[in-house]
Amino acid sequence: MSFNIITKHISMPDGKEIQIETGKLAKQADGAVVVKSGNMMLLATVVANKEAKEGVDFLPLSVDYQEKFASNGRIPGSFLKREARLSDYEILISRLVDRALRPTFPDDYHADVQVLINLISADSEVLPDAFVGLAAAAALAVSDIPFNGPISEVRVAKINGVYKVNPSVSELVGASLELIVAANANDILMVEGEGDEVSETEMLEALRIAHDAIKLQCQALNELTVACGKTEKRTYSHESHNEELRAELWKNYYEKYLAVAKQANPKKDERKAAFKAIVDEYIATLPEDHLVNLSMAKTYLHDIEKEAARQLVLQERYRLDGRKLNEIRQITCEVDYLPTPHGSSVFTRGETQSLTTVTLGTKMDEQIIDQPMTQGYNKFMLHYNFPGFSTGEVKPNRGVGRREVGHGNLAMRAIRKVLPKMEDFPYTLRIVSDILESNGSSSMATVCAGTLALMDAGVKIKAPVSGIAMGLISDAKTGKYAVLSDILGDEDHLGDMDFKVTGTENGITACQMDIKVQGLSYEVLVEALSQAKEGRLHILNEMKKAIPQVREDFKPQTPRATVIKIMKDQIGAVIGPGGKVVQDIQKQSGATVTIEEKEDGGYVSVFSANSAAMDHAVRMIKGIVTIPEVGEVYDGKVKNIQAFGAFVEFLPGKDGLLHISEISWDRIETMDGVFKEGDKVKVKLVEVDKKTGKFRLSAKVLLPKPERSSENSDN
């Protein structure tokens, strides 16, 4: 079989080469490409239905990214031994691509579109998530599916003061700032990433460098479209309109919507009811035999409501709930709300509320990571839950959705930057945020509540972190715009930007941005970042009123933990044959003991909520690993009695011979009645046999030596 293979090479400024190939694999898809960098290869396909389903007035886009275990020469570790549902990591990458693609499709295109990206070959030094957006956009570029692209995505990181695009895995270890940026040739569309308390200036410089790299990739995609003969896209007609009805509704109802918006009602339900009353009023005016398409009419009325709210902000410079543009809603913070968890908090901002808990667990609570490119353990987890009642809705509880995964990941990124060094932290740490009420950014509420709960738990974080969601409303015709602090749910829907920023007093720890409008200038971003910093610091001050600093100690119910470092050749002694020794330590002490081998030695972790149990376990472990020293005195236990003496355990697992002649200064003829097994006896290590390594003990040297009588001395 002959293939019409078309290949495009992209040379990046740092000399790295990216190859895009089409025409060889998956030819029945509307568009299919293989993107290669090093040994990393992605297969991206896109298929779209020719027609939209009846009644659908949105874009039914699905994006799935999956890493094949075979790509890295591995077999899945699950019971089924095959790829199953997408992991949280794969869901997060899918969301990055979705957020970049979705606003780039035509607004009136409503056919089902499915984008699938598979990692088919892995490279240990090439992170595939930086190329997934490029692969998806390339598949669209070689198809006839209507798309206002091209777009692309890159990773940009600041490493030792130098910005790098798509750095290698080893380079990324030392990054102080890491962002995934999506853009088209003219505008930035999406940003997500984290930093080590970086400045707003550093963030903007990273965006500029990322955008320059994306422009190169977009140019290559345009050239690929021409080479494939796909400049002409398929025709479609997914919407019908009644311009006469639209004009009539705008004429009759715009002022009514504007009047409701101007009421500046801070309560979401009352605003919603007031806007709905306008729709009900219109429907009530229609005769029974009307021919009006109600679905179409409601769409137009919704558009009017949205524009009225936008113009309220642009013209009057205040918002639906009456706040000024940079005003933060009332904040209430409370810690130690729950008596049993290791840390807890309630954070309420306006009509958004998070109840958050912190749990400190043992090493055995670590999360096992088994992914094609990543294996190991995770000691820090943040889980975000968004039940239906938080917005007054009835919603089936079907498990965690992609939105919950994404929001939890953003909060996790924000807080992770201020945690103690996890490899040295003896606990497994889990934060759970349950959203109890929502009107505005619940992910930012999670960041604030998570910080408060950590401080309440006594976890020594570097600094408190707060978060704020910023919005933007702009008018391209007049050039007017307004940057909004602490946006409402309504403002998220009607605005042109959703920009979430988290950080400490010193700088930014994480950000997430979705831009819905073209032509957003860097000057507006500068203003948004500056206004976000003001809001972030205000929220931090409110949080400090509840708990000014981290608690000095953990709560009484928190298990205490300590780590004892031992030499590698001592690990076996602590574990014992078949785990007998470590099991005995746990049984006798009541503490939990785990052992981990690292490059520089063994690490024995001991956990217990009882200090006596902890001390007992530590003594036993130290006894095992302590190297006996001649001349040291030990508290021993008689383990075995022989005619010539007794074997005494003077350190855990270490027995020595207490010869009959070393028990007392007086002559002992027989061992009968001298000791019984289990007796305690204080002994001194007097010799270690150089050939056998056996220990010789003495008890009499610790006793006063009797003075000889004069009669005996004369003899």
Contact (Cβ atoms closer than 8 angstroms) between residue 181 and residue 207: yes
Give me the phi and psi of 155, to 5 degrees please: -100, 135
Q: Annotated binding residues for Mg(2+), as ranges?
A: 492, 498
What does DSSP say about strands 466-474 and 428-437: parallel, antiparallel, or unpaired?
Answer: unpaired
Q: In what helix (H) or strand (E) does residue 530 lie, and over which residues does it extend?
A: helix 522-546
Pairing of strands 592-598, 380-385: unpaired
- C-alpha 552/C-alpha 309 separation (Å) is 48
Residue 403 CB partners (closer than 8 Å, separation 6+) = 386
Q: Give residues with Cβ within 8 angstroms of 244, minimum separation 6.
A: none
Rounded CA separation 520/632 (Å): 76
Q: Distance between CA atoms of 355 and 574, rounded to whole angstroms?
A: 42
**What residues does 681 pair with on adjacent strands?**
636
- Considering just the CA atoms, what is the radius of gyration of the chain in Å? 34
In 299-385, at which residue ranges do the beta strands (DSSP E only) sit?
A: 331-335, 343-349, 352-361, 367-370, 375-378, 380-385
CB atoms under 10 Å from CB of 325, counted, come to 15
Comparing CA positions, the residue from 636, 610, 612 lying closest to residue 623 is 636
Largest CA distance in the chain: 139
Please calculate the CA angle 81-86-92 and round it to the nearest 5 degrees. 145
Pick from 489, 500, 490, 493: which is nearest to 516 by CA? 493
Contacts of 477 by beta carbon, 8 Å cutoff, 6+ apart: none
d(CA 156, CA 642): 74
As a whole number of angstroms, the distance between CA 610 and CA 47 comes to 60
d(CA 310, CA 303): 11
Angle between the N-to-C axes of helices 243-262 and 268-285, in degrees from 0 to 180, rounded to the nearest 10: 140
Strands 560-566, 592-598: pairing is: unpaired
Q: Residues annotated as binding site? A: 492, 498
How far, in Å, CA of 547 to CA of 408, rounded?
23
Judged by phi (left if over 0) then psi (alpha if -120 to 50, else beta), residue 268 lies in alpha
Q: Which of 633, 601, 614, 330 is nearest to 486 (CA)?
A: 330
Sign, CA dihedral 235-238-242-246, equals: negative
